[in-house]
Structure 1
Amino acid sequence: CTAVSKMLRTVAVVGGAGGDYALAAQAKGADAFVTGEVKHHEVIAAQQAGLALYEAGHYHTELPYRERLKAYLDTACPGVEFIVSESERPPMETL
């Protein structure tokens, strides 16, 4: 196995399971792609295309967007109350 290093200039980020957007991000100029969940064939395709790929965990890549989503929904749906949970935990934990 040979390590290849290159300067990264543009990193695309998609929270959650965004592996199917990796090559589209590269086509738009991304040198690297960060997402929460990637399928095996998406990893292979990224490797073959020379795209740096980082799988950061589905739950943890969606966590930062909760407040932004609530703010959007508050504006888009006046009269409806949206609450962001303060007690949730990741569905999978490392033992």
Structure 2
Amino acid sequence: MEPAAFTEVLSESERRLVFESLLSPGAELTREQASACCRALKRGKLERERERLQGDIEAAERSQDSSRLVELQRAKLQLDKDLRDLLRV
């Protein structure tokens, strides 16, 4: 897995952490360790996004915005699938 592949998935601080860990002297990271680190960071990002979506879903329910609610629920279903897929790796 190339570190550059994570530019769209990780936040700036998460990318910096990955690159610093790969380049730090004396701390040799195996490919498996780097991959596990990136999966953990991606999992955290997906979980934060799920929490945000859940809050948006609750707000749409309160405002009785059914079209927005359907859109948010679809997004949450996709995010839940992405999270399950990530955990299977």
Larger helix fraction of residues = 2
Q: How does the TM-score come out when normalised to structure 1?
A: 0.32
